[in-house]
Structure 1
Amino acid sequence: MAVTNAVSWRTEGIKYRKNEVFLDVIESVNLLANASGAILNSEIIGSIKMRVYLSVIERHAHSRVEIMVKAKSQFKRRSTANNVEIIIPVPADADSPRFKTSIGSVRYTPEVNSAVWTIKSFPGGKEFLMRAHFGLPSVTSEEIEGRPPIHVKFEIPYFTTSGIQVRYLKIIEKSGYQALPWVRYITQNGDYQLRTN
Protein backbone atom coordinates (compact mmCIF):
# COMPACT_ATOMS: atom_id res chain seq x y z
CA MET A 1 0.00 0.00 0.00
CA ALA A 2 1.64 3.24 -1.14
CA VAL A 3 1.33 6.35 1.00
CA THR A 4 1.31 9.08 -1.65
CA ASN A 5 -0.95 11.91 -2.70
CA ALA A 6 -2.03 10.00 -5.81
CA VAL A 7 -5.32 8.18 -5.58
CA SER A 8 -6.09 5.82 -8.45
CA TRP A 9 -9.88 5.85 -8.68
CA ARG A 10 -10.59 6.30 -12.36
CA THR A 11 -8.84 8.18 -15.12
CA GLU A 12 -8.81 11.91 -14.40
CA GLY A 13 -10.89 14.27 -16.48
CA ILE A 14 -13.74 11.96 -17.54
CA LYS A 15 -16.73 14.29 -17.96
CA TYR A 16 -20.11 13.62 -19.55
CA ARG A 17 -22.71 16.28 -20.31
CA LYS A 18 -25.23 14.07 -18.53
CA ASN A 19 -24.35 11.44 -15.92
CA GLU A 20 -26.49 8.51 -17.01
CA VAL A 21 -26.85 4.79 -16.46
CA PHE A 22 -29.00 2.79 -18.89
CA LEU A 23 -30.33 -0.50 -17.55
CA ASP A 24 -32.18 -3.01 -19.78
CA VAL A 25 -33.97 -5.84 -17.99
CA ILE A 26 -34.72 -8.68 -20.41
CA GLU A 27 -36.66 -11.81 -19.46
CA SER A 28 -37.53 -15.00 -21.32
CA VAL A 29 -40.33 -17.23 -20.04
CA ASN A 30 -39.98 -20.97 -20.72
CA LEU A 31 -42.91 -23.33 -20.24
CA LEU A 32 -43.45 -27.02 -20.88
CA ALA A 33 -46.96 -28.41 -20.42
CA ASN A 34 -48.28 -31.87 -21.22
CA ALA A 35 -51.31 -32.55 -23.44
CA SER A 36 -53.74 -32.26 -20.51
CA GLY A 37 -52.41 -28.83 -19.53
CA ALA A 38 -50.33 -29.84 -16.51
CA ILE A 39 -47.16 -27.78 -16.22
CA LEU A 40 -44.08 -30.01 -16.35
CA ASN A 41 -41.48 -27.26 -16.21
CA SER A 42 -41.49 -23.48 -16.10
CA GLU A 43 -38.82 -20.88 -15.57
CA ILE A 44 -37.97 -17.26 -16.20
CA ILE A 45 -34.49 -16.56 -17.48
CA GLY A 46 -33.45 -12.95 -17.24
CA SER A 47 -30.53 -10.80 -18.11
CA ILE A 48 -29.60 -7.24 -17.30
CA LYS A 49 -27.61 -5.09 -19.71
CA MET A 50 -26.12 -1.80 -18.63
CA ARG A 51 -24.39 1.16 -20.24
CA VAL A 52 -22.77 3.65 -17.87
CA TYR A 53 -21.84 7.26 -18.59
CA LEU A 54 -20.65 8.69 -15.27
CA SER A 55 -18.22 11.51 -14.64
CA VAL A 56 -15.33 10.83 -12.29
CA ILE A 57 -15.99 11.20 -8.57
CA GLU A 58 -14.46 14.50 -7.54
CA ARG A 59 -11.51 14.50 -5.18
CA HIS A 60 -10.65 17.89 -3.73
CA ALA A 61 -6.97 18.47 -3.04
CA HIS A 62 -6.75 14.81 -1.98
CA SER A 63 -8.29 15.68 1.39
CA ARG A 64 -11.98 14.97 0.77
CA VAL A 65 -14.28 13.07 -1.55
CA GLU A 66 -17.69 14.02 -2.91
CA ILE A 67 -20.11 11.32 -4.06
CA MET A 68 -23.29 12.04 -6.00
CA VAL A 69 -25.88 9.30 -6.55
CA LYS A 70 -28.90 9.81 -8.78
CA ALA A 71 -31.60 7.15 -8.37
CA LYS A 72 -34.33 6.92 -11.00
CA SER A 73 -37.22 4.46 -10.99
CA GLN A 74 -37.92 3.00 -14.43
CA PHE A 75 -41.07 1.11 -13.50
CA LYS A 76 -44.68 2.28 -13.97
CA ARG A 77 -45.85 5.42 -12.18
CA ARG A 78 -48.66 3.58 -10.41
CA SER A 79 -46.15 1.22 -8.75
CA THR A 80 -44.03 2.03 -5.70
CA ALA A 81 -40.84 0.40 -4.46
CA ASN A 82 -40.79 -0.05 -0.69
CA ASN A 83 -37.86 -0.17 1.75
CA VAL A 84 -35.27 0.82 -0.84
CA GLU A 85 -31.66 0.72 0.37
CA ILE A 86 -28.79 1.95 -1.79
CA ILE A 87 -25.47 0.89 -0.24
CA ILE A 88 -22.61 3.04 -1.54
CA PRO A 89 -19.00 2.04 -0.79
CA VAL A 90 -16.72 4.77 0.57
CA PRO A 91 -12.95 4.83 1.16
CA ALA A 92 -11.84 3.02 4.32
CA ASP A 93 -10.23 6.16 5.73
CA ALA A 94 -13.26 8.42 5.17
CA ASP A 95 -14.47 10.54 8.07
CA SER A 96 -16.57 13.65 8.82
CA PRO A 97 -19.59 12.57 6.74
CA ARG A 98 -22.10 15.16 5.52
CA PHE A 99 -25.18 14.16 3.53
CA LYS A 100 -27.81 16.00 1.53
CA THR A 101 -30.72 14.16 -0.06
CA SER A 102 -33.97 15.03 -1.80
CA ILE A 103 -35.78 12.12 -0.09
CA GLY A 104 -35.15 9.55 2.62
CA SER A 105 -32.20 9.45 4.98
CA VAL A 106 -28.51 8.53 4.77
CA ARG A 107 -26.38 6.94 7.48
CA TYR A 108 -22.66 6.30 7.53
CA THR A 109 -21.65 2.73 8.42
CA PRO A 110 -17.86 2.88 8.93
CA GLU A 111 -17.70 -0.77 10.04
CA VAL A 112 -18.47 -1.80 6.43
CA ASN A 113 -17.04 1.32 4.72
CA SER A 114 -20.31 2.45 3.22
CA ALA A 115 -23.09 5.01 3.25
CA VAL A 116 -26.64 3.62 3.25
CA TRP A 117 -29.36 5.70 1.58
CA THR A 118 -32.78 4.53 2.79
CA ILE A 119 -35.98 5.47 0.95
CA LYS A 120 -39.16 4.06 2.54
CA SER A 121 -41.38 4.69 -0.50
CA PHE A 122 -39.97 5.26 -4.02
CA PRO A 123 -42.73 6.00 -6.59
CA GLY A 124 -42.40 4.89 -10.20
CA GLY A 125 -41.16 7.40 -12.76
CA LYS A 126 -39.36 9.52 -10.15
CA GLU A 127 -35.75 10.63 -9.75
CA PHE A 128 -33.98 11.52 -6.51
CA LEU A 129 -30.51 12.79 -5.67
CA MET A 130 -28.11 12.18 -2.79
CA ARG A 131 -24.80 13.94 -2.19
CA ALA A 132 -22.21 12.79 0.32
CA HIS A 133 -19.06 14.62 1.42
CA PHE A 134 -16.28 12.87 3.37
CA GLY A 135 -12.94 13.99 4.71
CA LEU A 136 -9.88 11.85 3.89
CA PRO A 137 -7.32 12.22 6.70
CA SER A 138 -4.79 9.82 5.18
CA VAL A 139 -4.55 9.45 1.43
CA THR A 140 -3.53 6.02 0.19
CA SER A 141 -3.72 4.57 -3.29
CA GLU A 142 -6.48 2.09 -4.01
CA GLU A 143 -6.56 -0.73 -6.48
CA ILE A 144 -9.40 -0.07 -8.93
CA GLU A 145 -10.25 -3.78 -9.06
CA GLY A 146 -10.71 -3.78 -5.29
CA ARG A 147 -13.50 -1.19 -5.21
CA PRO A 148 -16.77 -2.82 -4.17
CA PRO A 149 -19.98 -2.30 -6.17
CA ILE A 150 -23.05 -0.34 -5.10
CA HIS A 151 -25.75 -2.70 -3.77
CA VAL A 152 -29.47 -2.02 -4.06
CA LYS A 153 -32.28 -3.62 -2.04
CA PHE A 154 -35.97 -3.10 -2.80
CA GLU A 155 -39.43 -4.63 -3.00
CA ILE A 156 -42.19 -3.65 -5.45
CA PRO A 157 -45.61 -5.07 -4.49
CA TYR A 158 -48.29 -5.76 -7.13
CA PHE A 159 -45.67 -5.75 -9.90
CA THR A 160 -43.70 -8.29 -11.91
CA THR A 161 -40.70 -7.36 -14.01
CA SER A 162 -41.71 -9.91 -16.63
CA GLY A 163 -45.24 -8.51 -16.83
CA ILE A 164 -46.66 -11.99 -16.30
CA GLN A 165 -50.24 -12.00 -15.01
CA VAL A 166 -52.60 -14.70 -13.80
CA ARG A 167 -55.81 -14.07 -15.78
CA TYR A 168 -57.95 -16.27 -13.54
CA LEU A 169 -57.57 -18.83 -10.79
CA LYS A 170 -60.48 -21.20 -10.41
CA ILE A 171 -60.87 -23.61 -7.51
CA ILE A 172 -62.98 -26.66 -8.26
CA GLU A 173 -63.95 -28.70 -5.21
CA LYS A 174 -66.44 -31.59 -5.39
CA SER A 175 -68.22 -30.85 -2.11
CA GLY A 176 -69.10 -27.38 -3.39
CA TYR A 177 -67.73 -25.26 -0.54
CA GLN A 178 -66.60 -21.73 -1.38
CA ALA A 179 -62.91 -20.89 -1.58
CA LEU A 180 -61.32 -17.55 -2.38
CA PRO A 181 -58.36 -17.54 -4.77
CA TRP A 182 -55.62 -14.98 -4.12
CA VAL A 183 -52.72 -13.99 -6.36
CA ARG A 184 -49.94 -11.78 -5.05
CA TYR A 185 -47.29 -10.13 -7.21
CA ILE A 186 -43.99 -9.01 -5.69
CA THR A 187 -40.73 -8.05 -7.35
CA GLN A 188 -37.72 -7.90 -5.05
CA ASN A 189 -34.00 -7.59 -5.42
CA GLY A 190 -31.88 -10.64 -5.90
CA ASP A 191 -28.14 -10.05 -6.14
CA TYR A 192 -28.45 -6.48 -7.43
CA GLN A 193 -25.05 -4.77 -7.84
CA LEU A 194 -23.79 -1.75 -9.77
CA ARG A 195 -20.04 -1.77 -10.29
CA THR A 196 -18.29 1.56 -9.95
CA ASN A 197 -15.16 0.82 -11.96
Structure 2
Amino acid sequence: MIEGVRAVWRGLVVFERFGWVFIVANLFAVLLSLPLLSAPLAFAGLAHMAHNAHAAPTAHPDDFWRGVRRYFWHGLLLGALNLAFWAVLYVNFAAYAQQTGALFWLLRGIWFIAALSWLLMLLYVFPLLEEMERRHLGMALYNAALMVVKNPFFSAAVLLCALLIVVGSALTVVPLLLFTLGLLASIGCAAVQDRLARFRGP
Protein backbone atom coordinates (compact mmCIF):
# COMPACT_ATOMS: atom_id res chain seq x y z
CA MET A 1 0.00 0.00 0.00
CA ILE A 2 2.95 2.32 0.63
CA GLU A 3 3.92 2.01 -3.05
CA GLY A 4 0.40 3.06 -3.99
CA VAL A 5 0.63 6.14 -1.77
CA ARG A 6 4.01 6.98 -3.30
CA ALA A 7 2.50 6.77 -6.79
CA VAL A 8 -0.29 9.10 -5.70
CA TRP A 9 2.31 11.50 -4.34
CA ARG A 10 4.18 11.49 -7.66
CA GLY A 11 0.92 12.30 -9.39
CA LEU A 12 0.40 15.21 -7.00
CA VAL A 13 3.94 16.52 -7.60
CA VAL A 14 3.51 16.53 -11.39
CA PHE A 15 0.09 18.15 -11.03
CA GLU A 16 1.57 20.90 -8.86
CA ARG A 17 4.39 21.47 -11.36
CA PHE A 18 1.94 22.11 -14.20
CA GLY A 19 -0.89 23.45 -12.07
CA TRP A 20 -2.29 26.11 -14.40
CA VAL A 21 -2.20 23.70 -17.35
CA PHE A 22 -4.24 21.13 -15.44
CA ILE A 23 -6.70 23.76 -14.20
CA VAL A 24 -7.43 25.07 -17.71
CA ALA A 25 -7.78 21.54 -19.10
CA ASN A 26 -9.94 20.52 -16.13
CA LEU A 27 -12.43 23.28 -16.99
CA PHE A 28 -12.58 22.00 -20.58
CA ALA A 29 -13.03 18.44 -19.29
CA VAL A 30 -15.91 19.41 -16.98
CA LEU A 31 -17.76 21.03 -19.88
CA LEU A 32 -17.10 18.04 -22.14
CA SER A 33 -18.35 15.69 -19.40
CA LEU A 34 -21.78 17.32 -19.09
CA PRO A 35 -23.26 14.68 -21.40
CA LEU A 36 -22.33 11.67 -19.26
CA LEU A 37 -21.62 9.63 -22.38
CA SER A 38 -18.57 11.78 -23.14
CA ALA A 39 -17.12 11.82 -19.60
CA PRO A 40 -14.55 9.07 -20.39
CA LEU A 41 -13.59 11.00 -23.53
CA ALA A 42 -12.88 14.07 -21.39
CA PHE A 43 -10.78 11.93 -19.07
CA ALA A 44 -8.93 10.54 -22.09
CA GLY A 45 -7.87 14.06 -23.02
CA LEU A 46 -6.68 14.70 -19.48
CA ALA A 47 -4.81 11.39 -19.39
CA HIS A 48 -2.99 12.24 -22.62
CA MET A 49 -2.01 15.64 -21.26
CA ALA A 50 -0.97 14.11 -17.91
CA HIS A 51 1.14 11.51 -19.71
CA ASN A 52 2.98 14.30 -21.52
CA ALA A 53 3.43 16.16 -18.23
CA HIS A 54 4.98 13.06 -16.65
CA ALA A 55 7.18 12.21 -19.64
CA ALA A 56 8.23 15.61 -21.01
CA PRO A 57 9.60 18.84 -19.55
CA THR A 58 6.56 20.81 -20.75
CA ALA A 59 2.79 20.41 -21.03
CA HIS A 60 0.09 22.60 -22.58
CA PRO A 61 -3.74 22.65 -22.56
CA ASP A 62 -3.60 21.90 -26.30
CA ASP A 63 -2.44 18.41 -25.27
CA PHE A 64 -5.92 17.88 -23.83
CA TRP A 65 -7.58 18.43 -27.20
CA ARG A 66 -5.00 16.25 -28.94
CA GLY A 67 -5.93 13.47 -26.53
CA VAL A 68 -9.64 14.02 -27.19
CA ARG A 69 -9.07 13.70 -30.93
CA ARG A 70 -6.79 10.68 -30.55
CA TYR A 71 -9.20 8.76 -28.32
CA PHE A 72 -12.50 10.08 -29.69
CA TRP A 73 -14.03 6.71 -30.56
CA HIS A 74 -12.36 4.93 -27.65
CA GLY A 75 -13.82 7.52 -25.28
CA LEU A 76 -17.35 7.33 -26.66
CA LEU A 77 -17.31 3.53 -26.69
CA LEU A 78 -16.07 3.43 -23.12
CA GLY A 79 -18.73 6.01 -22.24
CA ALA A 80 -21.42 3.67 -23.54
CA LEU A 81 -19.89 0.71 -21.69
CA ASN A 82 -19.67 2.80 -18.53
CA LEU A 83 -23.34 3.80 -18.66
CA ALA A 84 -24.34 0.19 -19.34
CA PHE A 85 -22.22 -1.08 -16.42
CA TRP A 86 -23.79 1.31 -13.92
CA ALA A 87 -27.29 0.69 -15.29
CA VAL A 88 -26.91 -3.08 -14.85
CA LEU A 89 -25.47 -2.60 -11.37
CA TYR A 90 -28.34 -0.31 -10.38
CA VAL A 91 -30.95 -2.76 -11.69
CA ASN A 92 -29.33 -5.61 -9.76
CA PHE A 93 -29.24 -3.65 -6.51
CA ALA A 94 -32.80 -2.38 -6.98
CA ALA A 95 -34.21 -5.80 -7.88
CA TYR A 96 -32.80 -7.45 -4.75
CA ALA A 97 -33.00 -4.49 -2.37
CA GLN A 98 -35.58 -6.18 -0.14
CA GLN A 99 -33.79 -9.54 0.00
CA THR A 100 -31.90 -10.30 3.21
CA GLY A 101 -30.59 -13.84 2.75
CA ALA A 102 -26.90 -14.69 2.98
CA LEU A 103 -26.72 -15.30 -0.78
CA PHE A 104 -28.01 -11.81 -1.53
CA TRP A 105 -25.55 -10.22 0.89
CA LEU A 106 -22.80 -12.14 -0.91
CA LEU A 107 -24.07 -10.87 -4.26
CA ARG A 108 -24.12 -7.30 -2.96
CA GLY A 109 -20.53 -7.72 -1.81
CA ILE A 110 -19.52 -9.00 -5.25
CA TRP A 111 -21.29 -6.10 -6.96
CA PHE A 112 -19.63 -3.62 -4.61
CA ILE A 113 -16.18 -5.03 -5.36
CA ALA A 114 -17.01 -5.00 -9.08
CA ALA A 115 -17.95 -1.31 -8.83
CA LEU A 116 -14.68 -0.40 -7.08
CA SER A 117 -12.68 -2.45 -9.59
CA TRP A 118 -14.43 -0.72 -12.48
CA LEU A 119 -13.59 2.69 -11.06
CA LEU A 120 -9.93 1.69 -10.89
CA MET A 121 -10.04 0.37 -14.44
CA LEU A 122 -11.43 3.71 -15.61
CA LEU A 123 -8.52 5.42 -13.84
CA TYR A 124 -5.95 3.13 -15.49
CA VAL A 125 -7.29 2.48 -18.99
CA PHE A 126 -6.26 5.66 -20.84
CA PRO A 127 -2.83 5.92 -19.17
CA LEU A 128 -2.34 2.30 -20.30
CA LEU A 129 -3.40 3.18 -23.85
CA GLU A 130 -0.72 5.87 -23.83
CA GLU A 131 1.88 3.18 -23.17
CA MET A 132 0.61 0.71 -25.78
CA GLU A 133 2.05 0.51 -29.29
CA ARG A 134 -1.31 -0.67 -30.66
CA ARG A 135 -4.10 1.31 -29.04
CA HIS A 136 -6.85 -1.27 -28.60
CA LEU A 137 -9.53 -0.46 -26.03
CA GLY A 138 -10.38 -4.09 -25.28
CA MET A 139 -6.75 -4.94 -24.58
CA ALA A 140 -6.36 -1.81 -22.45
CA LEU A 141 -9.40 -2.80 -20.36
CA TYR A 142 -7.96 -6.30 -20.00
CA ASN A 143 -4.61 -4.89 -18.89
CA ALA A 144 -6.36 -2.51 -16.48
CA ALA A 145 -8.24 -5.44 -14.94
CA LEU A 146 -4.98 -7.39 -14.63
CA MET A 147 -3.34 -4.41 -12.96
CA VAL A 148 -6.14 -4.29 -10.38
CA VAL A 149 -6.11 -8.04 -9.71
CA LYS A 150 -2.32 -8.44 -9.55
CA ASN A 151 -1.78 -5.35 -7.40
CA PRO A 152 -4.69 -5.38 -4.92
CA PHE A 153 -3.01 -3.47 -2.09
CA PHE A 154 -1.39 -0.95 -4.44
CA SER A 155 -4.73 -0.40 -6.18
CA ALA A 156 -6.58 -0.16 -2.87
CA ALA A 157 -4.27 2.66 -1.76
CA VAL A 158 -4.69 4.49 -5.08
CA LEU A 159 -8.46 4.07 -4.96
CA LEU A 160 -8.71 5.24 -1.35
CA CYS A 161 -6.70 8.39 -2.11
CA ALA A 162 -8.74 9.03 -5.26
CA LEU A 163 -12.03 8.63 -3.38
CA LEU A 164 -10.86 11.00 -0.65
CA ILE A 165 -10.01 13.59 -3.31
CA VAL A 166 -13.38 13.16 -5.03
CA VAL A 167 -15.40 13.32 -1.80
CA GLY A 168 -13.47 16.33 -0.55
CA SER A 169 -13.93 18.07 -3.89
CA ALA A 170 -17.65 17.28 -4.04
CA LEU A 171 -18.20 18.82 -0.62
CA THR A 172 -16.73 22.15 -1.71
CA VAL A 173 -17.67 22.03 -5.46
CA VAL A 174 -14.98 24.51 -6.59
CA PRO A 175 -12.10 21.96 -6.63
CA LEU A 176 -14.29 19.67 -8.73
CA LEU A 177 -14.47 22.38 -11.37
CA LEU A 178 -10.84 23.47 -11.14
CA PHE A 179 -8.63 20.45 -10.67
CA THR A 180 -10.18 17.16 -9.49
CA LEU A 181 -10.34 15.36 -12.84
CA GLY A 182 -6.89 16.58 -13.87
CA LEU A 183 -5.43 15.47 -10.55
CA LEU A 184 -7.00 12.02 -10.94
CA ALA A 185 -5.55 11.75 -14.46
CA SER A 186 -2.09 12.60 -13.13
CA ILE A 187 -2.45 10.02 -10.36
CA GLY A 188 -3.63 7.40 -12.86
CA CYS A 189 -0.59 8.04 -15.07
CA ALA A 190 1.76 7.85 -12.09
CA ALA A 191 0.20 4.58 -10.94
CA VAL A 192 0.42 2.97 -14.38
CA GLN A 193 4.02 4.08 -14.90
CA ASP A 194 4.95 2.76 -11.44
CA ARG A 195 3.53 -0.71 -12.16
CA LEU A 196 5.00 -0.84 -15.66
CA ALA A 197 8.44 0.10 -14.33
CA ARG A 198 8.16 -2.69 -11.77
CA PHE A 199 7.04 -5.16 -14.45
CA ARG A 200 9.80 -4.22 -16.89
CA GLY A 201 12.46 -4.29 -14.21
CA PRO A 202 15.78 -2.41 -14.18
- TM exceeding 0.5: no
If the length of structure 1 is used for normalisation, what is the TM-score? 0.24
Q: Whose helix proportion is higher, 1 or 2?
A: 2
Bigger RCO (CA 8 Å, 6+ sep): 2
- Is the radius of gyration larger for structure 1 or structure 2? 1
Q: Whose strand proportion is higher, 1 or 2?
A: 1
